[in-house]
Structure formats: structure tokens, C-alpha cells
Amino acid sequence: MKEHDSLYSWIRLIIALLVATVGNIGMWVVVIILPDIQQEFTIDRSTASIPFALTMVGFAIGNGVMGRIVDRYGITKTIILAATINTAGYISAMQVSNIYLLTILQFFIGFGTAASFGPLIADTSHWFLKRRGIAVALIASGNYFSGAIWPPIFNSTLQSDGWRDVYGILAMATIFIMIPLSFLLTKKITEETCRISDAASENKRASVNISPRMLTILLSIAGIGCCVAMSMPQVHIVAFCIDLGFGPAVGAEMLSLMLIGGIISRLINGLIADKLGGVYTLLIGSTLQCIALFLYLPFDGLVSLYIVSAVFGLSQGGIVPSYAIIIREYLPSSQAGARVGFVMMCTIMGMAIGGWMSGWIYDITGSYAAAFWNGIIWNFLNIAIVLFLIARNGKSKFTGLKTAA
């Protein structure tokens, strides 16, 4: 029975997307409650932001570690482990009396949340061949869906019961939604289906004459470069708008516009990847992101910034999933979780480094112009690696165009 791109594959994709929508809220919760914890613990904004920083550190490390676990034990056991960690973290967070304990707990919550990103992407990729691009794009959008769906649900709880009860809701959602859904993902892809996928991957990898380790390293460096560039608008757009005199509300609207554009971009790029392959899709997205970063330099009017932010969102959303698609196109399925997880870890590190670096450059220069140029330079590193991979194989073999088979 055919398993790739089957009806079951799509049903499984929907279940996995629901898991991702619940699982990824661990990354967003501390952002939602930030003003409340700042007020309760009587701390400044920078101190209140430390739990989010540690969440991202845990999220980055978790993608690497959980990726290895999913290769060995499967996605169901990995999700249950992650859900257990997160549930314990949520319940413990309800009892904390200071920001430092919350910060430690958020590190572990970030670690557990990672299972709903890179490892879930890797698992989903096993079930698709012709439609792998759009499948990976949909799963990768789970963290965006989570950030869009959950905050409105929490607003009334925050106002009536406080931020601790938000953690209580998350604990219940994890126990009663995420864990039961994970049991619907117990079925494993057959060895015969894996051999079909691995044969295609080996042919592609052999054509570029590059080892799995070197390809993973190159994609990891490209991911860091891409996300250092990506972080400038995403992390600093609110502050950028304040500097221009537009206020934080306008910056928040532009950030929302980026995220909406990012979802659309991921879906469009998924369809493109199914036609052109991951490498050319990555080249298109990275080039468009570079153009969007350039556009921030001359345009600083209100209307033009809304337009540029929309363009940026539509440009960058498909970049990160492209790395996962490339890994699955060129490397064996048995290594998917570990290698996708490692590259995703590097992209998250790039976001963290880039966010800090842009702030540091701003402190030195007093302007975000140099920070945008810094992002553009890092983006060129990403593009250079993609062009190197294309050059290794000539003009046609990296396109991933469907063969007669």
C-alpha cells in the first residue's frame, strides 16, 4: 500500500498540526504575561524579558536533543516526554515567588516545546514525497498559528484571574489535548517506504558530491546567517517605530503584519518547493528577504513601512522550512530528526544572536541603519552558501523537478 502522500498522510498532518498548535504555546506564553510578571515582581522590562531569552535557549537546545530522541524512539514517545516536561513546568510556574525561578522553569518549558517544531517537522516529512514541501510548510506554521490563536484566549483569563491561571490552562491543554493526540501518531512508516525515499535522497546527495556532515554544517551556517538578518525587523520593529515617532502600537501592528505574511509565505514556498526543490526555494526566499531589508533603509514613512513590513513577511516565511526540506531531499530518513533538529537549533541561535547584535549596533551608532546593513551582510552569507550548493551540481540537478518516476 502506498504510504507517501496518501490520505492517511494528510490526516496525520492535520493531527500533527493540532499538536504543534498546542505544543508551541510554551514559546509564546511568557511574552503574553510579560507586563503582568513585571508588575507583580516589581522589576524593570529588561529583567522581565530574561525568561523569554532562556525559553529560546531551551527551545534551541531542545530541537537538537529531541531530534535525536525522535529518530530513536518515534514521535509519540517524544511528544509525551515533552508534554510531561511542559506540564510539570506549567504547574510549577503557578507557584513561583520570584522571576529567577520562573526563568529556570521557562528554560525547561522551551526545551519541551522544541518537540513540537523540528522533530515534528522531521516526522511529518517521512510521510510525503511529492507534496513534502507543502506538508513541511504547514507543520512549520504551527508555531505561528499558536502565537495567533492562544493570546486572545488568554486575555480574559489574564484580566480576571491573573497570569498564574494561564499556566493552569496550558497544563490542562497539554494533558487533555496534546498527549491524547500524540497516541494517534504511533504508526511508523514502513522500511520499504523509507527505502524509496532514501534512494532518491542518496541519488541527489551523490550528484553534489558532499558528505551528510558537511551539508548539515553548511545549512547550519546558512541558517544562522539567514536568521541574524531576519531578527533585525522581527525583534526590533517596535523599537524602530518608536524611534521614528510612530509609537509602540504601530510597531506591534507591523509585527503582526509580518507574522501573517510569514504564514502566507510558508504555504506559498511549500508549493514552490514541491515544484523546484528546497534549494531553489531557499534561494528565492533569501533573495527576497535581502531586497526587503534594503527597502527599510530609504523608506521611513508610515505607509511605506507598513508596505515594506508586509513585503518582508511575505519574503522570509518560507526560508526556515526550506532547510528542513533540503535535509530530507538529500539525507537519509534515519537521520532526519537529528539533522533537522540541529539546523533548526542553529536558526534559533541566529535569531538570538541577531536580536542582541542589532541592539548592540544601535547602542554604538544611535541608529538602526547600520543594524540593517549588518543583517544584509549576514543574509549574503546565506545566499553565498546556497549558490555554492547549486554550483556543486550545475544548473539543473538541484532543481528537484519531478522525474517521470
Which pLDDT value is given to residue 165?
A: 94
Q: What is the distance between the alpha carbons of residues 355 and 275, in angstroms, rounded to a whole number?
A: 33
**How many CB atoms sit inside 10 A of residue 293's CB?**
25
- CA dist 203 to 156, 197, 326, 376, Å? 54, 10, 13, 34
Residue 104 has pLDDT above 80, yes or no: yes
Q: Are 302 and 391 in contact (CB under 8 A)?
A: no
Mean local confidence (pLDDT), 315-341? 90
Residue 151 has pLDDT above 80, yes or no: no
Residue 162 has pLDDT above 50, yes or no: yes
Q: H-type helices in 94-211, by residue range?
A: 99-113, 118-125, 132-140, 142-160, 163-173, 179-182, 191-208
Which pLDDT value is given to residue 211?
A: 86
**How many CB atoms sit inside 10 A of residue 339's CB?**
28
Which pLDDT value is given to residue 392?
A: 83
Q: Which amino acid type is present at position 398?
A: F
Q: Are 352 and 56 in contact (CB under 8 A)?
A: yes
Helix (H, G, I), strand (E, B) or coil at 295: helix
Helix (H, G, I), strand (E, B) or coil at 44: coil
Q: What is the distance between the alpha carbons of residues 137 and 298, in angstroms, rounded to a whole number?
A: 32
Q: Say how far residue 340 (Cα) sits from the centre of its chain.
A: 11
Residue 348 has pLDDT above 80, yes or no: yes
More confident residue, 12 or 47: 12
Tens-digit pLDDT profile for residues 362-400: 889 988 899 999 999 999 999 999 999 988 876 444 444
Tens-digit pLDDT profile for residues 210-255: 888 999 999 999 999 999 999 888 878 878 888 889 887 788 788 8
pLDDT band at 273; cut points 50, 70, 90: very high
DSSP structural state of residue 178:
I
Give the CA count within 13 Å in the CB-facing half-sphere of 378.
26
Q: Lowest mean pLDDT of 42-56, 178-192, 269-283, name the range.
A: 42-56
Q: What is the distance between the alpha carbons of residues 384 and 97, in angstroms, rounded to a whole number?
A: 49
**How many CB atoms sit inside 10 A of residue 213's CB?**
10
Which grid cell sits at 310?
508586509
Report phi then psi at 388, rounded to 5. Answer: -60, -45
- What are all long-range contacts of 8-13, with beta carbons under 8 Å and residues at least 24 apart? 8/127, 8/187, 9/127, 9/128, 9/135, 12/124, 12/127, 12/184, 12/185, 12/187, 13/124, 13/127, 13/128, 13/135, 13/138, 13/139
What structural domains and CATH numbers belong to the chain? 7-185 (1.20.1250.20), 193-392 (1.20.1250.20)
Which pLDDT value is given to residue 404?
A: 35
